[in-house]
Amino acid sequence: MKLAWLLILTTLKRRLAYRGDLLIQGLDEILRGLVALAMLEVYSAKTPALAGWSHDQLLFVLGFSLVPIGLFHAFCGNLYQLSSTYIINGNLDRVLLRPYPSFLQICLDRIAVEDLSGVVLGLGLMLTAALRLPGFAWDPGHLLLLAVMLLSAFGVVIAVFMAFAATGFWFEDRVGMVPPVYNLMEFGRWPNGIYHPALKLLITCVIPFSFVAFYPASLFLGGDTPWFPALLTPLVAGGALLLASGLWTRGIRRYESAGS
């Protein structure tokens, strides 16, 4: 943990040396969230209640989703480079020579502090929606539960992309599986009731993006969605991280370097 903290500080110092670049890239993350917000406004204008969910409820879910995704971009976004930079180019050799967990080294190689602007935007949208929603609980217990759910959702995101990035040890492709799977995360921001049962099964049980936003966020909105799936979010995060770690370890053992 001490080494991780030192690596984070070193990265922050390096990034803060170019504040203009940092600001522009931070605006890029905010614009990405604003595009999702614009889509929500368009859908809400056409359908005031989407599968029984109001505009403010969907706004809260959207804000909730931006927090774990922003944290992933900031601290684990380097997983996008696993196949191209580390496996195919052989830079994983350097990682494996160090007595430090390989997954943490790859993540800490690039910390995008500018992407935390997406987290700020997400928290702002959640606060805006919560102030409009009747009966939203502001007591410390509910706020603590909200923090736990946000961290659990972050754990689900890490687990999914750790697992799909690890497939690069078997299928050596520069693009890898992470970018295509990333696009599926959009489905987790909307009520499951609007999807075909097969798609609902996919994003709940196979690639659990419903536990990144919709299920945990619905726990605080008083909708018709059962509360039981929402409370499963920490368990889903723990189980997914365990499975992803096992796949990552097997992939590391299979790695044979890029040399001829």
**Structure token pair of residue 164:** 């799909």
**Structure token pair of residue 25:** 């890239």
Spatial CB neighbours of 160, under 8 Å, sequence gap ≥ 6? 181, 207, 208, 209, 240, 244
From 120, 153, 150, select the one nearest 30 (Cα to Cα).
Answer: 120
Spatial CB neighbours of 138, under 8 Å, sequence gap ≥ 6? 130
Hey, which residues does 53 pair with through a beta bridge? 50
The Cα 40–Cα 241 span in angstroms is: 31
**Cα angle 246, 250, 251; round to 5:** 115
**Structure token pair of residue 145:** 């539960």
Spatial CB neighbours of 103, under 8 Å, sequence gap ≥ 6? 162, 245, 248
**Burial of residue 18, with CB atoms counted within 10 A of its CB: 0-12 exposed, 13-18 middle, 19 or more buried:** exposed
Q: Tell me what pLDDT residue 207 has.
A: 92
The Cα 170–Cα 173 span in angstroms is: 9
Contact 50, 194 (CB under 8 A): yes
Give me the residues of the chain with pLDDT under 70, please: 174-175, 223-226, 258-260
Contact 243, 159 (CB under 8 A): yes
Q: Tell me what pLDDT residue 223 has.
A: 62
Helix, strand or coil for residue 53?
A: strand
Q: Tell me what pLDDT residue 17 has.
A: 77
